[in-house]
Structure formats: C-alpha cells, structure tokens
Amino acid sequence: MHYRALIFDFDGTLADTLEHTRGIYNQLAPGYGLRQVEAHELEALRHLSLSELLKQLNVSKLRVPSLLSRGTAMLRERMAEIPIIPGMAAVIPELRRRSETFGILTSNATQNVNLFLDVHGLRSHFTFVSSTSKLTGKAKHLKAIRKTFSLDSREMLYIGDEIRDVKASQKAGIDVAAVTWGFNSRDSLARSEPTHLLDHPADLCALRRPDQA
C-alpha cells in the first residue's frame, strides 16, 4: 500500500449512521423551526456539498454547532444499534497490518466512536481516535496528526465519504480516498477530484500511492 498512516472518517465510512442521523435531525428540527427530512429526499441530498445541504434545509451556519452537539449526544444512546458498513470489519485487520499509524478523525464525539468500536470488537486496531467540533475543521487536525506522528504528507491517506472530507484532505496536502457507500453520491465525489474513488471496502486493500503505482 505504501501509506504509513491510514486515517478514517467515521459516520458513513465505518459506521452506517445515516438513518439514525436523519431520525435525530427530525427530532431536533421542530425546536429550531426547521422542516423534517423525509427518507425519499436523501438521494437528492446526496449530491450536495455541505454548504449546499445547509442552504437546501435552510439551516443557518450559526445553528450548526448546537445541532451537532445535541445530535452527537443523542446518537450516543444508539451506538449499540448502529451497524458497521458491510465488508469493513473484514478489511480493517488487514489494513492495520499494512500501516504504522491507524486512526480515526471525525466530527462525531470520541466517546461515541469508542463505544461503537468496542461493540464491534475493533478498538484494539486503532492507534488513536480524534474529534473536531467543527464540520469544516478537519484540515487543521490532519496537519496536526502529520506533525504528531512525524509523517511526510505523501505517507498519509484520509478515507471519507463526503465532499468536505476530500476538500479537507486537499487543503492539508494529503491523499484522500473517497468512498461511495456513505453520504455523498459517487458523481459528486468524483467531481471533487479525490486521489482515489472506491466503491467497496475491499478496494482499500488494493490501493497504491499514485507516485508508486
């Protein structure tokens, strides 16, 4: 693989949280004067960037921190019910054997992630779990991870399911694998020009750095 460090997003990449997230959002929406999201709307929403999504739902950026904080707290009560992405449990041990640094960077809460990993018997594979309280704060954290583990940017790969994950990686100057089994659609991810575009967890095992392919 030739990547010393593999760093994963959580929601939509490792954990299938989409429907639970929609349910929690719909619980919170009336209190913020927002409309609820119906299941049939999700496919159209998958084509949108974060800013486009907030605009479509009429969510002010000022409300995002509160929604995120309350939503992650409510999600904690459901962690034991959340399934892992099909196929991911099988590839994680193999990917871990190939990398020196193996972590998670998420806008979810670290407590939620650790609960999920414990439920699925995967916590021992990960060297760290890191969280950013901002939906758009991952680039800064990726740079900090590079410094913490004394990595060259070419040796790092971030793996995520959203356009914002691709943009954060590009801003941090590292490679990114965009996975199509999460929130954003394949077409929208492709337009963001990730280093790799993957359709199944098993594809992760075949990755090569572009300069070493």
Convert the pLDDT of each residue in 125-137 to its tens digit: 999 999 987 777 8
Range of the domain at 65: 18-80
Mean pLDDT of the chain: 95
Pick the catalytic residue: 9, 11, 165, 175?
Answer: 9
> Is the domain of 141 the same as that of 63?
no
Question: Which spans in 29-162 are helix H?
Answer: 42-45, 50-56, 64-76, 88-98, 110-119, 138-148
Distance of CA 12 to the CA centre of its chain: 6
Top-confidence residue, 150 or 137: 150
> Is the domain of 152 the same as that of 191?
yes
**Number of domains composing the chain:** 2
d(CA 185, CA 42): 10
What percentage of residues in the chain have a pLDDT greater than 90? 92
> Is the domain of 194 the same as that of 143?
yes
Question: Which spans in 42-109 are helix H?
Answer: 42-45, 50-56, 64-76, 88-98
Compute the average pLDDT of residues 190-210.
95
> 9 an active-site residue?
yes
